[in-house]
Structure 1
Amino acid sequence: MAVPKEKHELQKAIVDNYKKLTNEFANIPIHLTNKKELEGHAKNTLMSIENLIAYLVGWGQLVLKWNDRKSEGLEVDFPETGFKWNELGLLAQKFYNDYEKDDFKTLTEKLDKTTNEILQLIESKTNVELYEMVWYGKWTFGKMIQLNTSSPLKNAMDRIRKWKKTKQLN
């Protein structure tokens, strides 16, 4: 799918990638979801399916937080308070830790809720707000949403497919 350049394309990218990802969850045995066997977000690390979902929830929640803070006229610490853009591996570890007590079912429910909240946020914005004005640095809000939602959803699906091949779960 091409990189979204307008509101409806962004909505479609998120919905389509989310559906594809959740379809990949369908035949994963629950006992494998907490095994650290997938390539991690930091170099030379491994993560579990649950960590991967925590990562997606974490980024989705950050997008919502950014919007809330900007809407209230408050400063936003990008990407997150205490982290710089060159520390995304550490931020991924934070997300894993934030949700470490949640099981697969709880994490998928949180991902569903977060994805729906992001889709509602997009629906509340105009195409001008999403793609025709700078929102952060040189980026539009639509681009920031895409970089932190639909793109990671697709990346997660690709990681899971690759892992499933090694487990012969296709």
Structure 2
Amino acid sequence: MAVPTNKEELLNAINKNYNKLKKELENIPLELTTKKDLEGHSKGTFMSINNLLSYLLGWQELVLKWNIKQDNNEKVDFPETGYKWNQLGKLAQKFYEDYKDDDFNTLKEKLDKKVEDILTLIENKSNKELYDVAWYEKWTLGRMIQFNTSSPYLNAQGRLRKWKKLSTI
């Protein structure tokens, strides 16, 4: 799929890729969701399906947080306070920890809600706000949202598909 270049394409990409991810999440036995046998976010590591959902949730939270801060003219620490862009593996570990007490079904429900919140955020922005001005360094808001929503959904779907083939699910 081509990189979205306007509001409509961004909404379509998020919906399409999230629906593909949700389809991959169907019929996964609950007892397998905590097993750390999925390729991790840092080289040579493994994570559980719950960790994968926690990772996605963490990034959704950040996108929403960035926007609230920007809208309030507050300073935003990208990607997150205490983390630099070259520390994304550590940030992934933080996300796993943040949601460690949530089960698979709770994580799916929370992710559904955050995706709704992201879609609402996009709906409330003009195409100009999303794609015509730099929002973070050279990146537009639309591109920053895409980097942290539709692209990771597609990546997660691919990871799950590969995992299912290896697990014979």
TM (norm. structure 2) is 0.99
Instruction: Tell me which residue corresponds to 2:111.
Output: 111
CA shift, 1:43, in A, is: 1.4
CA shift, 1:27, in A, is: 1.7
SS of alignment partner, residue 135 of structure 2:
strand
- Distance, in Å, in 1 between the alignment partners of 2:42 and 2:95 is 12
Which residue type is aligned with residue 36 of structure 1?
K
Instruction: Tell me which residue corresponds to 1:12.
Output: 12
Is 2:71 the counterpart of 1:71?
Answer: yes
CA shift, 1:146, in A, is: 0.2
Aligned residues: 169
SS of alignment partner, residue 135 of structure 1:
strand
- Distance, in Å, in 2 between the alignment partners of 1:91 and 1:107 is 18
Q: Give the aligned CA root-mean-square deviation in angstroms.
A: 0.5
CA shift, 1:130, in A, is: 0.2
TM (norm. structure 1) is 0.99
Instruction: Tell me which residue corresponds to 1:160.
Output: 160
**Identity over aligned pairs, percent:** 62
Instruction: Give structure 1 stretches of 5+ with no counterpart.
Output: none
Q: Deviations over 1:101-137 (max 9, x none)?
A: 0000000001000000000000000000000000000
Aligned pairs for 1:18-97 (under 5 A) are 18-97=18-97
- Distance, in Å, in 1 between the alignment partners of 2:108 and 2:65 is 20
CA shift, 1:167, in A, is: 1.0
SS of alignment partner, residue 145 of structure 2:
helix
Which residue type is aligned with residue 34 of structure 1?
T
SS of alignment partner, residue 2 of structure 2:
coil
Which residue type is aligned with residue 92 of structure 2?
A
Q: Deviations over 1:52-76 (max 9, x none)?
A: 0000000001000000000000000
Instruction: Give structure 2 stretches of 5+ with no counterpart.
Output: none
SS of alignment partner, residue 143 of structure 2:
helix
Which 4+ residue blocks in structure 1 deviate beyond 6 angstroms? Answer: none
- Distance, in Å, in 2 between the alignment partners of 1:85 and 1:143 is 16
CA shift, 1:168, in A, is: 1.2
Instruction: Tell me which residue corresponds to 1:149.
Output: 149
- Distance, in Å, in 1 between the alignment partners of 2:9 and 2:61 is 21
